[in-house]
Amino acid sequence: HARCICTLVQEKGPEAFKTGIPHQLFTSFRIFMLLRAIQHRKESFLDEPAWKIEPFSSEPKSLMQSLLDQIASLPSLLQRLDAISSSNRAHQNEEIIALHKDFDSQMLRLEEWEANLETSSNSRLFWWPVSSLSDDETIFPISYDFTNILAANTMSHYWSFLLVIQISISTLLTISKEKEINVTYLLKHQAAISPEKRVDLARDICQSMRYHLQPEMGLYGPAATLFPINVALQIFRMENKTKEAIWCGDFISKLEMMGILLASHIPSIEARVGRST
């Protein structure tokens, strides 16, 4: 369905979604179109400037839409990473260094987005920790409450996007070392991509899940957890956090029991290798 929606939206062009129901449909489907591009690791037409400007020329951007502006280029970076990972071609130094710079810029844009969120004149507390009352959540004794489901959805995806970028930078670092390319002078976020930081972000995701499952959220809340909880699960598996990974698996099973049957079918966030380019 997402592929068909992408085709229809692209054929209409950005000016078709400025107002009314078309605008509402575009803003509703935009995240799914970008998530599809991230999961398939293929560049998206949504990264073109017109798609970030025209549909919002008459309507203000929500918190989520402002975040999606910042990560629209991520699918193309993942596509380039896969091409480098899958290629045995020599003399890729310039491509690898350029991709390092672009991932670094992507990370910086996200960090600036969060900083602006925290310091804007209209800023308020979007989430805060509360004690978890459920026995089955003792692995995560703290849960997050949010101002509303939009804030919860936006922040859980923000943390998952950071994790995708951090894993990608780590992969690129490994490739650089194998090819004896010195890129340490380029890296502005070495501390941010540590295993400890990744685990912390995955915990943030899990600590936001209880909020999404509140009865008043209907199916929208649980459905919004699909991508973030799968990213958290993959991080815990990578870092050998068995108890946390089991918790994520149980949460995904709970989603499937609620009728969300795609809950366990999110592709890996790691680079894809072994394909011709």
In the DSSP assignment, the letter for residue 48 is S
CB 104 within 8 A of CB 188: yes
- Segment 125-175, tens digit of pLDDT: 678 888 766 655 578 988 999 989 999 999 999 999 999 999 999 999 889
Q: Where are the domains of the chain?
A: 1-60, 63-257
pLDDT at 275 over 60: no
> For residue 13, what are the contacts with CB-CB under 8 A and spacing of at least 6?
none
What is the three-class DSSP state of 148?
Answer: coil
Instruction: Read off the pTM.
Output: 0.91
Nearest to 222 by CA among 209, 232, 241, 237: 209
**Quick one: pLDDT at residue 277?**
34
**CA-CA distance, 277 to 228, in Å (whole number)?**
29
**Quick one: pLDDT at residue 276?**
37
Rg of the chain over Cα atoms, rounded to whole angstroms, equals: 19
> For residue 120, what are the contacts with CB-CB under 8 A and spacing of at least 6?
none
For the stretch 12-44, what's the b/e string if a residue is b when 16 or more beta carbons lie within 10 angstroms of its beta carbon? eebeebeeeeebeebbebbbebbbbbbbbbebb
**Quick one: pLDDT at residue 38?**
96
Strands (E), the chain: 127-131, 142-146
In the DSSP assignment, the letter for residue 14 is G
- Segment 93-128, tens digit of pLDDT: 889 989 999 999 999 999 999 988 877 645 556 788
Q: How far is CA 143 from CA 169, 189, 212, 219, in A?
A: 29, 28, 11, 20
**Quick one: pLDDT at residue 86?**
86
Write out the two tokens for 194.
């540590």
**CA-CA distance, 84 to 96, in Å (whole number)?**
8
Nearest to 52 by CA among 28, 75, 74, 27: 27
